[in-house]
Structure 1
């Protein structure tokens, strides 16, 4: 339930703070005073489109905030919990618009994107504008009203899931068919390339190993010669070697240490150098003993290296990248083959998905048929009360599983009506006049509102084109609705306003330079005068006051 609305610098409102109650609250005022401005501000706060013209002239920003009590709104509480925005059973939404047209949105003090604000707003308030009856002529809106009345959320969710699965398979089939010719040509090319590379079978890292071994064998003679020279120089020469010279230096250093211990470090370093020379000699000897210079192996490597370079050039990659390229082509070939296999089996899967969708849609369609009859009966009874005693309302639900499928099912829904005796029942737009359409729309909205979980309903001049006894019936209907739901009604009809549990009046003031709209709740006497004004215009007489008292008494 909406408990408070605060508006700052919005259009011609400088500041407005409303404390709202349960039941039916009526809002009246002079023509042009801005009766709907609070409703517009609330709509903005709940995610409607914003622009700079909404900011009061000479102000740098406009701000609207709304406080809701959520004790009777489990869906909104669940939404807040899911989005980690809950705050102890209460919710405050706020919207700020700069003079440049930029806007920011907040839920319980947390900045949120506009999409989240809209999502929550749909669970908090349902606004019916003065042009709602025009929406009633649209088939999509008619279907939405019927599903809302029937509470088809779960059935619609199941149908939508089956539709999305069918649609995904349908798109995949179209893609596979469209790509089939191109895919086959590429598959043949890649198949040949993969077969060629499979035969060569170059492994990851193998090219580097081949290149290294090839270089070693190509330089085999020089390696043997240079290794022999180093071995002689280090240790093997019978005359002078590095090891022999170091041994002599070690022996001399030992004598020096005996004379001065501070030379101990020098002796240690010479010993380490001698050991390093001995170890390097041993390593070099072992390498030379294991060095195999096989001409046949060299020829094998020469041939494989040349083949790798040729294939790499053919495939426009570096030789070292050939093995990875081979793997990539093999993966592409497997994917292309899988697509062909997928194409063979997807039609059966698509048919099964379509059948599952049709079954779910038929269950939904049967439920729509049942609730369409129920809603039509209620609307017919309601329009009889609204000065259409010979009116009859019906809802046609026409399932058509052969036409294009929809996430909403297979039905086409059309509201039908006859308003005069002997007149055949026809589509709503072809029969009803503006006033009749307005009354039918109001009847449907009120009846559907009783079945919808939204705890706050706003009717913004939906009684346009209604007067006299019919207006009194409209007022009673809205008051009955207010017994179970918070209802805000912007109206110009005293018969409607007199039915409210609370009454607010809107007035506009100007000093010749600026204009300001205000809204305030009315006490008993002020309300009586406002109803008298609505009944008789600016001149309030004893008769209009008496009529106003009668309205309130009823």
Structure 2
């Protein structure tokens, strides 16, 4: 509930501090006094658009703050807690607009972006403007009003989620198909390259092995000659080989070891050295015996090395990287080959998402049909009470399965007939301006009862009505005020007299400055204001008597 509004240097308001009570509060005033200025200031405090022109001339900035009791508003409490902005059971919104047009906002003393001010404001206040009935002519507005009355927000959220999923998959599928031509061209090139490398079939590590073998065959003569020379030096020379010389040394040291045991370790080392030389000689001999000039094998290796280097240059990689490059191309080709399957799978997922959206849209349609029939009767009854005895209201809910959207697949139309024997027609075609005002009011009062926000504002929604009809409107709004806080800006005494509370707006001029003031009216002052609304500036005993009849007390 809104408990206090403070306005400073806003438009022609120098300073206002207003305390509000529960129930229905009516706001009246002279023409041009700025009856809606408090509503405009409150709208700004709820995240509305701010401009430098809103700042009172001569002031540096406009300041508006609104204090709310949120103890009984679960949605607001949850929002505040989830955004770490809660402060017990009270909430203060504040907005500042500088004369240069710069805007700042706070929630419970914490700086916040306007988006957060708006989001929280939606849980606190719902404003119904005087031109709302004109917006009601649009099918989208009519759909929103029906959904607001039905309150099936979970179904709406499910439809929105399903629609986003469907559209996301559809976009992915389109992008994938657009890339298909490029992938096909790439796949053709890869097929040729992979086939060429498949035919060559170079295995990982093979190029390095070929290089070693090729080098050995290329130097076979030198290797044979040098191996034979090394063998001669190691063991095949009768007197000059390493083996023969070691054996002679061992014989000499063995003889000396008998004289001096300290030479035993040297003898052992010489024996080990002899064994190493013998084993090395055996290995070298086997190596020499394997060496064999093989021109045919050499040519085969020469050709394979040459082909590998040619392919490597063609693919702009080193010959050592060719086998790995071959595998990478093959993997890429396999991925591209799987893209057709991916398109098919994505298409199936897209179709399944659309089917799910269609199912949810159908559930939403059934809910709308049910609540539309309820709303038909309630609005028709309200229209009869608003001096339209022959009026009949009906909501058309047309399900169009091929027109899926985030809000389902329904086209909603408000139909009305105001005279006996006339068929139902869209309200834009069949209702006059005054009738349209009453239809809009009848719908707003009903749907407002379903709104979760605890404060409702009706800004001159009674335009175009008068007399007994105005009294009915007043009673409707008063009844609404029994369960929620209601503000009503009005020029009709029949409506103003139904308020639980009454605020009066006046414009005062002092020298070259003008400012708007807003004060609560009680007792005789309120009676005088109702009389003024009835008869103008000249107040008579008759107008006072009539005003007294219009004044509804809490006991009525």
TM-score category by the smaller chain? Answer: 0.7 to 0.9
Q: How does 1:425-436 map to 2 (within 5 A)?
A: 425-436=424-435
Alpha-carbon separation, structure 2, partners of 1:378 and 1:447? 8
- How far did residue 303 of structure 1 move? 9.5
Q: Deviations over 1:479-511 (max 9, x none)?
A: 000000110111111111110011001111122
Q: Which has the larger displacement, 533-542 or 102-111?
A: 102-111
Matched, 1:446 2:445: yes
**Residues 130 and 348 of structure 1, relative CA distance in 2, 3 Å threshold:** same
Q: How does 1:370-519 map to 2 (within 5 A)?
A: 370-401=370-401, 403-519=402-518
Q: Deviations over 1:349-371 (max 9, x none)?
A: 33322222111111110110010
> Residue in 2 aligned with 1:19?
19
Matched, 1:96 2:96: yes
Alpha-carbon separation, structure 1, partners of 2:320 and 2:59? 69
> Residue in 2 aligned with 1:546?
545
Matched, 1:8 2:5: no
**Residues 491 and 200 of structure 1, relative CA distance in 2, 3 Å threshold:** farther
The TM-score with structure 1 as length reference comes to 0.78
> Residue in 1 aligned with 2:354?
354
**Residues 80 and 184 of structure 1, relative CA distance in 2, 3 Å threshold:** same
Q: Secondary structure of 2:5's partner?
A: strand
**Residues 550 and 323 of structure 1, relative CA distance in 2, 3 Å threshold:** farther
Matched, 1:187 2:180: no
Alpha-carbon separation, structure 1, partners of 2:314 and 2:524? 98
Q: Deviations over 1:298-335 (max 9, x none)?
A: 99999999888866764567999989987876675455
Alpha-carbon separation, structure 2, partners of 1:197 and 1:183? 20
- How far did residue 76 of structure 1 move? 1.4
Alpha-carbon separation, structure 1, partners of 2:86 and 2:324? 53
Alpha-carbon separation, structure 2, partners of 1:189 and 1:81? 59
> Residue in 1 aligned with 2:167?
167
Q: Secondary structure of 1:361's partner?
A: helix
- How far did residue 514 of structure 1 move? 2.0
Alpha-carbon separation, structure 1, partners of 2:73 and 2:56? 34
Alpha-carbon separation, structure 1, partners of 2:319 and 2:535? 98
Q: Which has the larger displacement, 344-353 or 135-144?
A: 344-353
Q: Which has the larger displacement, 465-474 or 81-90?
A: 81-90
> Residue in 2 aligned with 1:121?
121
Q: How does 1:16-415 map to 2 (within 5 A)?
A: 16-193=16-193, 314=314, 333=333, 335-401=335-401, 403-415=402-414
Alpha-carbon separation, structure 1, partners of 2:53 and 2:304? 77
**Residues 40 and 310 of structure 1, relative CA distance in 2, 3 Å threshold:** farther
**Residues 75 and 303 of structure 1, relative CA distance in 2, 3 Å threshold:** farther
Bigger radius of gyration among the two: 2
Alpha-carbon separation, structure 2, partners of 1:85 and 1:523? 37
Q: Deviations over 1:396-446 (max 9, x none)?
A: 001010x22101111110000001112111001000011100011011010
Alpha-carbon separation, structure 2, partners of 1:160 and 1:35? 40
- How far did residue 105 of structure 1 move? 1.9
Q: Which has the larger displacement, 173-182 or 433-442?
A: 173-182
Q: Secondary structure of 1:344's partner?
A: helix
Q: Deviations over 1:173-199 (max 9, x none)?
A: 222333322221122224444666787
- How far did residue 3 of structure 1 move? 1.1
**Residues 52 and 336 of structure 1, relative CA distance in 2, 3 Å threshold:** farther
> Residue in 2 aligned with 1:524?
523
Q: Secondary structure of 1:8's partner?
A: strand
**Residues 542 and 190 of structure 1, relative CA distance in 2, 3 Å threshold:** farther
**Residues 404 and 516 of structure 1, relative CA distance in 2, 3 Å threshold:** same
Q: Secondary structure of 2:416's partner?
A: strand
Alpha-carbon separation, structure 1, partners of 2:528 and 2:306? 106
Alpha-carbon separation, structure 1, partners of 2:497 and 2:170? 58
Q: Secondary structure of 1:346's partner?
A: helix
> Residue in 1 aligned with 2:257?
none
**Residues 28 and 316 of structure 1, relative CA distance in 2, 3 Å threshold:** farther
Alpha-carbon separation, structure 2, partners of 1:370 and 1:551? 39
- How far did residue 447 of structure 1 move? 0.5
Q: Secondary structure of 2:387's partner?
A: coil
Q: Secondary structure of 2:551's partner?
A: helix
**Residues 175 and 504 of structure 1, relative CA distance in 2, 3 Å threshold:** same
- How far did residue 18 of structure 1 move? 1.2
Alpha-carbon separation, structure 2, partners of 1:511 and 1:465? 35
Q: Secondary structure of 1:84's partner?
A: coil
**Residues 196 and 126 of structure 1, relative CA distance in 2, 3 Å threshold:** farther
Question: For structure 1, which runs of at least 5 residues remain unmatched after alignment?
Answer: 222-291
Q: Which has the larger displacement, 96-105 or 371-380?
A: 96-105
Q: Secondary structure of 1:72's partner?
A: coil
Alpha-carbon separation, structure 1, partners of 2:130 and 2:461? 5
Alpha-carbon separation, structure 2, partners of 1:331 and 1:109? 60
Question: For structure 2, which runs of at least 5 residues remain unmatched after alignment?
Answer: 217-221, 223-286
The TM-score with structure 2 as length reference comes to 0.78
> Residue in 1 aligned with 2:226?
none
